[in-house]
């Protein structure tokens, strides 16, 4: 069948290559009985593709039902899909047919199939493999001849890796996968869709046709549309109701209807964000800054160690600046290497933090006493913070300016579990 005729029949607007490819795949697979998995963001029109597949199939005279798997409570989903016997659970006053029995010979569309519980997934897999199912509360095996078209706006393989979706079910459903592009990937279709929704609204409500000026059309095309076609239709109808006297609607008025429009329009990074030109996301750039900050702290540690080494009297320098040295060297979230308590080695040197930071101290006994004093102070501070916060470790960690993980390690190190 001609592609444009299919679009006209099912009210699909657009000519983007990604959309045409998805439609062509649906048309080719429709005459078969193969399972189809439709993927795409919420609001892109996945259910329209399921209707196309059913209407062009040999089951077109059979029943079609769309089931939103995410909207049915987990406790009743098995009963809804496969039916139940009388008395099988509280409230089951009569026997009931499930969707797979009622739609025998037709097509069932399982929207948001990734939300199905694992137990229900096992039942569905059996239906897909041999057409068999058992009602809730029954032991009798029933047969059905139903074509399954499933859809999800989530990555089912990723959910499978997390143990939330059966991998074997994924491959059984995705015999033929169809990806419906999001609206931001169909920029050439956005203005066409706006005009369609505005025209339909005007005809339905006998109101003037609302149009956009050229600047507003550019804004329309460049917006990211996180809600996809559903969001575009809602905003179009809002403008048709509230801004009909401004037609063509200027950009400054149209912008008011775009939620968080400044954050959802393309923006240029500054020169400091040179990573953006290399395909990095803002999160990658943020991590880059964190890494650079860690390097700065590491440089600061090396500077402090250099001052210690260059001081004429190292012991006096350490004694006079012990609090600052403690802050730089012993704040473990900045360590380049795992924390190790300073160890006195036979040569009289002290190796405090990592392979390169070695302090040469002649009077080992005095340095050891200093280390003990610092440890005692640290123990006292942790004790006081825990007592002040009545043992609430997350609050104590915030007060001390350290992470909870660090505090737990210190508590274990100082045997403070009883506080």
Higher pLDDT, 38 or 278: 38
Q: Is the dihedral of CA 166, 167, 168, 170 positive or negative?
A: positive
Do the beta carbons of residue 248 and residue 212 sit within 8 Å?
yes
The number of angstroms, rounded, from the C-alpha of 262 to the middle of its chain's C-alpha atoms is: 22
Domains and CATH numbers, the chain: 3-181 (3.40.50.300), 184-264 (1.10.8.60), 294-413 (no CATH)
Alpha-carbon distance values, 262 to 29, 114, 196 (Å)? 41, 33, 26
Work out the end-to-end distance of the chain between its first and last CA atoms, rounded to an integer number of angstroms: 76
User: What DSSP string describes 122-143?
Assistant: HHHHHHHHHSEEE-BT---EEE
Q: Is residue 313 helix, strand or coil? A: coil
The number of angstroms, rounded, from the C-alpha of 58 to the middle of its chain's C-alpha atoms is: 38
What per-residue confidence (pLDDT) applies to 404?
A: 80
User: What DSSP string describes 39-94?
Assistant: E--TTS-HHHHHHHHHHTSTTTTS-EEEEEGGGS-TTTHHHHHH-B-TTSSTT--S
The number of angstroms, rounded, from the C-alpha of 47 to the middle of its chain's C-alpha atoms is: 22
What per-residue confidence (pLDDT) applies to 87?
A: 87
| Helices and strands counted in the chain (H then E) | 18, 10
Q: Is residue 218 helix, strand or coil? A: helix
Tracing tokens 């506080």 back to the chain, one arrives at 419
Report the distance separating Cα 344 and Cα 351, nearest Å: 7
Report the distance separating Cα 54 and Cα 66, nearest Å: 11
Do the beta carbons of residue 339 and residue 332 sit within 8 Å?
yes
Backbone angles phi and psi of 41, in degrees to 5: -65, 160
Alpha-carbon distance values, 232 to 4, 227, 285 (Å)? 22, 8, 31
What per-residue confidence (pLDDT) applies to 259?
A: 83
Helix axes 322-329, 364-388, angle to 10 degrees: 70
Report the distance separating Cα 361 and Cα 225, nearest Å: 65
What is the largest distance, in Å, between two alpha-carbon atoms of the chain?
A: 96
What per-residue confidence (pLDDT) applies to 315?
A: 64
Q: Is residue 335 helix, strand or coil? A: coil
pLDDT in tens, 245-298: 887 999 999 999 988 655 555 444 444 444 444 444 455 555 555 666 666 666
pTM as predicted: 0.61
pLDDT in tens, 86-120: 988 888 889 999 999 999 999 999 999 999 999 99
Do the beta carbons of residue 244 and residue 210 sit within 8 Å?
yes
Confidence check: pLDDT of 83 > 80: yes
pLDDT in tens, 296-341: 666 666 666 666 566 556 566 666 665 555 554 444 443 333 433 3
Confidence of residue 380 (pLDDT cuts 50, 70, 90): confident
């Amino acid at each position: 069948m001609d592609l444009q005729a299919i679009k006209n029949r099912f009210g699909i607007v657009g000519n983007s290559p990604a959309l045409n490819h998805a439609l062509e795949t649906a048309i080719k697979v429709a005459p078969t009985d193969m399972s189809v998995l439709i993927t795409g963001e919420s609001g892109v029109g996945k259910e329209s593709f399921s209707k196309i597949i059913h209407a062009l199939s040999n089951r077109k005279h059979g029943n079609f039902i769309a089931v939103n798997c995410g909207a049915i409570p987990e406790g009743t989903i098995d009963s809804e899909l496969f039916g139940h016997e009388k008395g099988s659970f509280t409230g089951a006053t009569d026997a009931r047919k499930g969707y797979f029995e009622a739609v025998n010979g037709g097509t069932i569309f399982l929207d948001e199939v990734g939300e199905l519980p694992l137990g229900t997934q096992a039942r569905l897999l059996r239906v897909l493999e041999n057409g068999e199912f058992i009602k809730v509360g029954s032991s009798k095996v029933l047969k059905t001849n139903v074509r399954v078209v499933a859809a999800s706006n989530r990555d089912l393989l990723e959910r499978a890796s997390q143990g939330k979706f059966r991998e074997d079910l994924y491959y059984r459903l995705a015999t033929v996968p169809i990806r419906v592009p999001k609206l931001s990937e169909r920029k050439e279709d956005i203005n066409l869709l706006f005009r369609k929704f505005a025209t339909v609204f005007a005809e339905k409500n006998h109101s003037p046709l609302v149009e956009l000026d050229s600047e507003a059309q550019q804004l329309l095309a460049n917006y990211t549309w996180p809600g996809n076609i559903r969001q575009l239709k809602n905003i179009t109808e809002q403008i048709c109701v509230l801004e009909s006297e401004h037609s063509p609607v200027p950009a400054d008025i149209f912008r008011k209807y775009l939620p968080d429009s400044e954050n959802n329009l393309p923006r240029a990074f500054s020169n400091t964000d040179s990573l953006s030109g290399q395909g990095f996301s803002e999160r990658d750039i943020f991590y880059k800054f964190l890494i650079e900050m860690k390097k700065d702290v590491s440089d600061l540690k090396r500077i402090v160690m250099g001052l210690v080494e260059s001081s004429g009297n190292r012991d006096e320098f350490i004694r006079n600046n012990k609090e600052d040295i403690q802050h730089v060297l012993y704040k473990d979230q900045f360590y380049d290497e795992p924390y190790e308590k300073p160890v006195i080695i036979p040569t009289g040197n002290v190796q405090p933090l990592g392979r390169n930071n070695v302090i040469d101290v002649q009077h080992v006994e005095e340095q050891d006493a200093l280390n003990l004093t610092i440890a005692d102070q640290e123990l006292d501070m942790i004790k006081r913070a825990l007592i002040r916060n009545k043992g609430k470790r997350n609050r104590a960690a915030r007060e001390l300016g350290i992470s909870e993980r660090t505090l737990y390690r210190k508590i274990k190190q100082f045997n403070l579990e009883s506080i």
